Amino acid sequence: MAQFYRTAARNAVWRLVLSLAIVSCSWWVWGAVVPTSDGLTWPGKIAWNDSLLIDPDGFVGKAPLLNSGVWTWITTIFGMPIFSVFAYRTTPRHCPACSCGTNGNNSKIVGGEEAAIGQYPWMVALYYSNRFICGGTLINDRYVLTAAHCVFGSDRSRFRVKFLMHDRLVPKEDSFERKVSYIMTNWFVNVLVFITNDVALLKLSEPVPLGDTITPVCLPPEGNSYAGKEGIVTGWGKRGDGSFPMQLQEVHVPILANEECHNQTQYFRFQINDRMMCAGIPEGGKDSCQGDSGGPLHVYDLDANRYVIAGVVSWGFGCAQAGFPGIYARVNRFISWINFNTRDACLCH
């Protein structure tokens, strides 16, 4: 049973610390709220009491009817956090019509190294204590999708999300930044073998004004493997000569089916699961690299004339090495989790 206790303040943060048990291949969780940082009393009044089912992938299967404010669910095993989920119930917002996955000039660059200015208006640069660390992708007016390993265990107050950046050394006049209000991860990691569930959502301190200059990328439909499609990775990661570019770069790589990744690369089968995808060429030479983490692996939808984010740059063995394509978090395996945790945002279609 999951017991949710209300604190004294109406809009206070609710923290639910959960225990975990595995029953019949499903995860059942239960627990109770602990005091929040503002020192409010506990347990207070029970606001909701019901069973909460977590599926084998670790995602919430049944959500409570929330009161106004913020709820934080932190799942732990032996006191170690596995993932946290933030849920919101807010006053409905007026959301103007907008499009995703398009840029101002509606063009597409094929090949090349430096991306065209304004080609990927959803691309963001993550800074931590004034130092560039990772990329990220705007998916609506309030949330950025990035890799969990870029933000896990970090102090959100030290993050800055920079928008409309092309040259990190010479920002454009219309570049701007946002602070981070919340960090949401769904994470389980074995640092000796692989990283899985490597996705995180950053809630921005205030919404981003969407329009012709800045638009979010489109989220993918569930079930599409994108095997055989051309993927486009963008970021400020390390180049083949070992240098880090100041200008936004792009690289085009073929997306492999997971079975191809199992059979035609040097990764062990157990290292690649269905929440991951491989992209690269067998002989190496083209890949994402250090500094690209958290950034998008796009697919360009020719029929709809827009970009869709298929993956998030996650990990790999070296950079552009033969037999070791890049590994990406498969975004459409996290769509339910993303939609659930971004319900207070304005969406573009």
The residues annotated as belonging to the active site are 149, 198, 293
Beta strands, E only, 34-130:
45-50, 52-54, 69-77, 80-89, 123-128
What is the spatial distance between Cα 58 and Cα 28, in angstroms, rounded to a whole number? 10
Cα–Cα distance list, 302 to 59, 116, 307 (Å): 32, 19, 9
Residue 322, Cβ density class (10 Å: 0-12 exposed, 13-18 middle, ≥19 buried): middle
What is the spatial distance between Cα 263 and Cα 268, in angstroms, rounded to a whole number? 9
What is the spatial distance between Cα 45 and Cα 67, in angstroms, rounded to a whole number? 13
Give, as one character, the DSSP assignment of residue 114: B
Q: What is the largest CA-CA distance in the chain?
A: 62
What is the spatial distance between Cα 203 and Cα 244, in angstroms, rounded to a whole number? 28
The token duo for 85 is 């989920």
| 128: helix, strand or coil | strand
Beta strands, E only, the chain:
2-6, 13-23, 26-33, 45-50, 52-54, 69-77, 80-89, 123-128, 131-138, 143-146, 159-163, 176-178, 180-190, 194-204, 230-235, 249-256, 276-279, 296-301, 306-315, 326-330
